[in-house]
Amino acid sequence: MKATACQAHDDDQKADHAHSGHCGGHDHDHGAVFEGASPAYQRILLLVLAINAVMFVVEVAAGAIAGSVALYADSLDFAMDAATYGVSFWAIGKAAMVRARVAFAKGLSLAVLGIGVLALAIWRLFTGAPPEPLTMGAIGLLALAANVGSAALLYRWREGDANIASVWQCSRNDAIGNVLVFLAAVVVLFTDSALPDLIVAGLMATLFLNSSFRILRQSLAEMRAERHIIV
């Protein structure tokens, strides 16, 4: 009975892999880059999108209550991720050039987000009061659970074209950012200083900019390769 179940599981995985090897009616070999053409992946992508949309609303409210720049930064990251997952879902099955351009746009949006968060942190350095640490820490833990769950769901598909890779990097960034938010809340609790919150916001901005660079670089390489194929 167990052998039959295992065989059925293997068959499902083979079918899923075979399906992901087809896009737009063209066959790809085993070395082809994953493009998202898998029903299982698309279901997970929509689930993660919903998680991020809900957490955006929660963190915006919590950021306003706690007065935390790090929570605001993380809420914007949730919003950006929800949009990213939605656009990524739309781009699945589209031409390679379309997917690369979508990834390029996401890379630019991450750069804008990183610069904006960094600017807000610098402004609050001179004008802001310490955030309320208990709300900040509690929401940070809730967001961490949401993001670790999302990253775990997406881990199987962490490698692929620029469109797929950008989804994984967003989830990874979120989990790292939430750990930093919680640690900042603990330090604020004991020091009554706004500095830990602002430092974490700056680190998250740096993480956004780093991911932006990586996504832009990969998407540009894919666009150049596609142009070469077309020519």
Residue 8 pLDDT more than 60?
A: no
State the average pLDDT for the chain: 77
Element (H, E) at 26: strand 26-27
The pair of three-digit structure tokens given for residue 14, joined into one six-digit string: 């083979």
Residue pair 189/134 in contact (Cβ under 8 Å)? The answer is: yes
In 3D space, the residue among 216, 42, 193 whose CA is nearest the CA of residue 131 turns out to be 193
What is the band of 5 on the pLDDT scale with cuts at 50, 70, 90?
Answer: very low
Q: What is the pLDDT of residues 44-76, one digit of tens each?
A: 888 989 998 999 999 889 888 888 888 888 888
The model's confidence at residue 39, banded by pLDDT at 50, 70 and 90, is: confident
119-145-203 Cα angle (round to 5):
25
- Domains for the chain: give ranges and CATH numbers: 36-230 (1.20.1510)
Question: What percent of the chain clears pLDDT 70, i.e. is strictly above it?
Answer: 78
Distances (CA, A) of 74 to 56, 70, 113, 193: 8, 6, 11, 20
pLDDT at residue 21 tops 60: no
- The mean per-residue pLDDT over the stretch 23-46 comes to 62
pLDDT above 90 covers a percentage of the chain that reads: 5
The CA distance from 4 to 21, in Å, is 25
β partners of residue 23: 26
SS3 194: coil
pLDDT in tens, 83-100: 878 887 887 777 778 878
Rounded to two decimals, what is the model's pTM?
0.64
Q: What mean pLDDT is predicted for residues 110-137?
A: 84
pLDDT at 54: 93
Helix spans in 92-132 (H) = 96-127
Q: How far apart are CA 105 and CA 156, in angstroms?
A: 24
Residue 98: Cβ-neighbour burial (10 angstroms; 0-12, 13-18, 19+):
middle
Q: How far apart, in whole angstroms, are the C-alpha atoms of residue 212 and residue 116?
A: 13
Helices (H), 128-194: 133-154, 162-191
Q: Are 173 and 147 in contact (CB under 8 A)?
A: no
User: How far apart are alpha carbons 123 and 188 in whole angstroms?
Assistant: 18
How confident is the model over 173-185, as pLDDT tens digits? Answer: 778 878 888 888 8
